[in-house]
Amino acid sequence: MVGFSVSRKLSQVQNTSEEDLNFHHKTRFIILIIVTLCLSIAQSDTLTLNFTIICMSGDGAQVGNHSALSNLEDMEMTLVNGSGTLRENVEHMEHKIADGRYNYTPSEKSLLFSLVAVGAMVAVYPVMLLIGKFGSRSVCFWMGMLSAVTTALIPWMAYIGFYPLLVMRFLQGAGLSTGFTLIGICTRQWSMQVQNALYIAVLTTFFQIGPIFTMPVAGALCTSSLGWPAVYYIHAVVTFGLFILFYFFYRENPTRHAFVSTKELEKIQRDKGEGKREAVPLKAILTDPVIYSIWISAIGNFMGIQLTMQFSPTYLNKVMGFAVEQTGTFSAIPQVVTFFLKIAAGYAADKMRCCTPQTSVKIFNNLALGGMSFSFLGLALIPTSEPVLGLCMLIFSCSIIGFNCGAFFRSSAIYAAQHNHFIMGVNSFLNCLASLIAPVIVNIFVTNDTWDEWWWVWMVYFVALFVANIVFQIYGKGVPAEWTKAGYGAKSAVGDVIPSIPKPTEPVETPKV
């Protein structure tokens, strides 16, 4: 095997020829695509159960009628003491898993769905510490492997019993915990300063790519001869392949990447400062009202997204009267629209020359959170006699939030600069929190899925997003914070949660423009 690596020593940077293999000075976009695909498949892995749980309640014998111990013993008897070869025994066991019937109570289903968010919330801070110590490349790779393994094991754990399945769901959530931290690091290290919004837009499309990939795959395989377990195996294989590619090609710092030309490196580093390893100034961050305005906007953003993602089919079917077979298609439309809107909004935010970033981040926040809040107000007022209008308003509410890439997300990238990975890590926690809040709020007001009950839900979310946007309009900024500037860390930094940016062993020269 040839020992080839895309890594290089810092001393090699200034000697790199412009004619060397460097993807025409576009290596940063290859990194962008790979990271986005890895985030998307990790998101897809957590959605597999959401789309297969109906298929799992088939016509076979109820697996849950036996204890976990007896099911485990049956699995051992089939695999170890079976009459055939190991391969034949495994195939026989897979048939038994696929033919079984897995019925869960509403409370058990709620636990299975919510444990993903709990796992991600629990893992966020430890993962941030690990990234600070070992670097994002190795930590994100191993979390990806965790996601692949747990996804592949879910059919087997479901056969053993409910609690082993619950553990797998928790670990799946942990595998997703690196998402926003990696977005922060990748944006800071690999994007040009004038392309921050585009990078954020593309990277955050994992919210849309995940379900867009999982929905058709689950639908096709659940009804095929391969059965519902194949959904998990396909996702596990894709996850494994993408994270192997990630580990091979991704480097945390472009100065360490052999395919980055001197010309591209100069573009990436322009107006970014030294880019050296620094401690996160926790005290400054946790006492900064601008950061809290970003986090308040983030929780409002995620609350709106989680509400529409989790309950759009229910609202369209139970309140607006659409048929069940229509709600799935209609619920997928906003994901596709949001994907393209995000890309367009990110490009527009970077290219906007009519105003400063200080102004543009507030304009985009008005469009994203303000637009979604007023669309919720519209949903509260649209009667059941106008289902098509309600559908259009729901699609609008899901899509308009795509402007968030140029709003508080961009503000965070500019204001927190080299410390944005910490801000984004907290955003990951807030996203999980919002996913747990949504069913709680709905359950408080909704009992029979009537229009009057949902009026309260839409009004609560209208007020929450409206207030979150107002707070950002007052405190949000689009300029770097004082605690990101050179020399501040030596005097005031507290803590050691840092991105793993290799510390230069010798100066790196870049051509002057």
- Checking if the pLDDT of 501 tops 50, the result is no
Q: Are 143 and 201 in contact (CB under 8 A)?
A: no
> What is the rounded CA–CA span in Å between residue 391 and residue 330?
8
Query: What pLDDT score does 461 carry?
Result: 96
Which of 11-15, 270-274, 299-303, 395-399 is predicted with the least confidence, judged by mean pLDDT?
11-15
Least confident interval from 136-150, 261-275, 396-410, 495-509: 495-509
Q: How far apart are CA 476 and CA 259, in angstroms?
A: 37
Mean model confidence pLDDT for the chain = 82
Report how far residue 147's alpha carbon sits from residue 172's, in angstroms, rounded to the nearest whole number.
5
| Tens-place pLDDT, residues 470-483 | 999 999 999 999 89
> What per-residue confidence (pLDDT) applies to 503?
40
Q: Where are the alpha helices (DSSP H) in 352-494?
A: 357-365, 371-381, 387-400, 408-416, 420-445, 451-475, 488-492
Per-residue burial over 474-506, b if 16 or more Cβ lie within 10 Å, else e, is ebbbbeebebbeeeebeeebeeebbbbbeebee
Residue with tokens 């009267």: 321
Give backbone dihedrals phi and psi of 7, rounded to 5 degrees, phi first: -80, 155
Q: Give pLDDT, residue 1.
A: 37
CB under 8 Å to 14, separation ≥6 — which residues?
A: 262, 508, 509
Distance CA 372, CA 453 (A): 20
Specify the pLDDT at position 430. Answer: 92
pTM confidence score? 0.79
Tokens 């204890």 label which residue? 67
CA angle 504, 506, 510 (to 5 degrees): 85
pLDDT exceeds cutoff 50 at 513? no
Res. 512 pLDDT band, cuts 50 70 90: very low
3 state DSSP class of 257 = strand
Two tokens, residue 507: 């100066």
Look at residues 128, 196, 189, 131 and name the one whose alpha carbon lies nearest to residue 426: 128
Distance CA 278, CA 188 (A): 13
Domains of the chain: 24-58+102-268 (1.20.1250.20), 281-484 (1.20.1250.20)
**What percentage of the chain reaches a pLDDT higher than 90?**
33
